[in-house]
Amino acid sequence: MSQSIPTPDGLPVLGNALAVGRDPFSYIEAATREHGPVFRVSIPGLSFVCYADPELVERALVTERDRYRKDPRELDLLGTLLGDGLLTARGESWERGREQVQPAFYPGRLREYANVMVAETERTVDGWHAGEHVDIHAEARDLTLSIVASTMFGIERVDETAVVARAADAITGRFEPSRIPVDVPLWVPTPANRRFERAVGDLEAVIDRVLERRAGEAGGRSETDDPDLLSTLRSAAEAGALTEQDVRDQLVTMLLAGHETTAIALTYALALLATHPDEQERVLDEVREVDGDLSPDTSLPHTDRVVRETLRLYPPAYMLFRQTTTADTVAGYEVPEGTRIVLPQWGIHRDDRYYDDPLEFRPDRWTAELRAELPDFAYFPFGGGPRQCIGRRFALLELRLALATVLRSVRLEATSSTEFAPTPALTARPEGPVWLRVRR
């Protein structure tokens, strides 16, 4: 006989709603610790089951993945903007898309992108002056957007950065937990919906301009160049394998998925280094040791540990959403068909069963022993299974090169106004500007 799934809090409905709405991060963290491995969160209009255990995460993403699919509600909301792009596509359309996009992430391509990553970061840092306070989140967003635009679409610069940034805000904002219980349908003309619609319209116009520009440069790229993602998709469209709309969907997806999460990770990494000057010094020593020579092969073990630790403590994708396609029994509990499932990176990455002093930023914890001992899904900032992040290696390379390039030129200091608490939207982005002082 299976038991019914526990709901934390004596007064489940109201208790959960208040706690989840006020601070979902602390709620998930505490509930994972106190009520794992499986518990239910019920708030008016929404109920889901949380798998707060690495083995169960692996079950949903890998071993029993046929019983789970991406949550259709999430796909529908995101799909308004991303259409049939890779992040939101289902079934055959996803399989085809993944195959078409994959070559843009082959290791040989990543090596070519490394130069762009370093050059764009240099350009960003050159704009900072000694003593200046910079909003590192805004800077990181512009930077990661230029990198993805330049590497994937072969365009030197998206002057329309602000439009993409606004669309990213509009779409991630639609996922704030405060909105979840009364999820207003998109067609109701609330001010937020009107903002969202406008942002989507502007973004589509930008993408069309990019496409037109490239069509106008026909032959601009030499025949011997490896085709970039945009050329690959356009050739597929010319051969009739894709519609113009498919091309647009993949482009919007890459622009958004490729810059938003990486910008958040870079922001937290720099803010954590600014608040841990000894760690910043160690990254700097490492960069000095290689004489500032930054390529994909440069060995930067401590920088890599900083990136790894940042993604543990502040995973930009802080929970994944799934739904059971058929009933499953997990940890002795019956989970019916159609149940919404949450896989909480935020809770598991901060659980002291896997990490000592889990709230401490401590890159040195990442020893070979820890990595060998850790259950596979005690660390999953990029998800797992077939729908694992396609940009994982891209993002890791970008983060290590960007950190090293920034610290090659400047030191960053926290000030009394430095704040970087996350806000719960689709991603765990910092709530407001993240001010750091530049020293040269």
Positions in the binding site for ligand HEM (CB under 6 A):
70, 86-87, 98, 148, 253-254, 257-258, 261-262, 265, 316-317, 320, 381-383, 387, 389-391, 394-395
- Nearest residue to ligand HEM, using CB? 391
Q: Which of 261, 249, 380, 383 is nearest to 322 (CA)?
A: 383
Signed CA dihedral, 101, 428, 302, 280: sign only: positive
Lookup: tokens for 268: 């937290």
Quote the least distance from Cβ 333 to ligand HEM, whole Å.
23
Quote the least distance from Cβ 279 to ligand HEM, whole Å.
19
**Closer residue to ligand HEM in complex, CB, 83/383:** 383
Where residue 291 falls (left for φ over 0; alpha for ψ -120 to 50; beta otherwise) is left
**Closer residue to ligand HEM in complex, CB, 55/334:** 55
Quote the least distance from Cβ 418 to ligand HEM, whole Å.
21
**Closer residue to ligand HEM in complex, CB, 265/403:** 265
DSSP codes of every residue in 90-103 = -HHHHHHHHHHHGG
Quote the least distance from Cβ 439 to ligand HEM, whole Å.
26
Lookup: tokens for 225: 């160049």
Where residue 46 falls (left for φ over 0; alpha for ψ -120 to 50; beta otherwise) is beta
**Closer residue to ligand HEM in complex, CB, 20/263:** 263
Quote the least distance from Cβ 257 to ligand HEM, whole Å.
4
**Closer residue to ligand HEM in complex, CB, 17/171:** 171
Quote the least distance from Cβ 101 to ligand HEM, whole Å.
7
DSSP codes of every residue in 225-289 = SPP-HHHHHHHHHHTTSS-HHHHHHHHHHHHHHHHHHHHHHHHHHHHHHHH-HHHHHHHHHHHHH
Residue 368 Cα distances to 19, 117, 211, 364, angstroms: 38, 28, 46, 10
- Bridge partners (DSSP) of residue 423 are 429
Lookup: tokens for 187: 């067609």
**Closer residue to ligand HEM in complex, CB, 271/395:** 395
Q: Which of 430, 405, 407 is nearest to 141 (CA)?
A: 430
Quote the least distance from Cβ 381 to ligand HEM, whole Å.
5
Quote the least distance from Cβ 194 to ligand HEM, whole Å.
28
**Closer residue to ligand HEM in complex, CB, 314/355:** 314
**Closer residue to ligand HEM in complex, CB, 19/164:** 164
Could you give the CA distance from residue 7 to residue 220 in angstroms, rounded to a whole number? 60
Quote the least distance from Cβ 266 to ligand HEM, whole Å.
8
Per the CB < 8 A criterion, the answer to whether 283 and 32 are in contact is: no
**Closer residue to ligand HEM in complex, CB, 38/254:** 254
Per the CB < 8 A criterion, the answer to whether 342 and 50 are in contact is: yes
The three-state secondary structure class of 297 is: coil
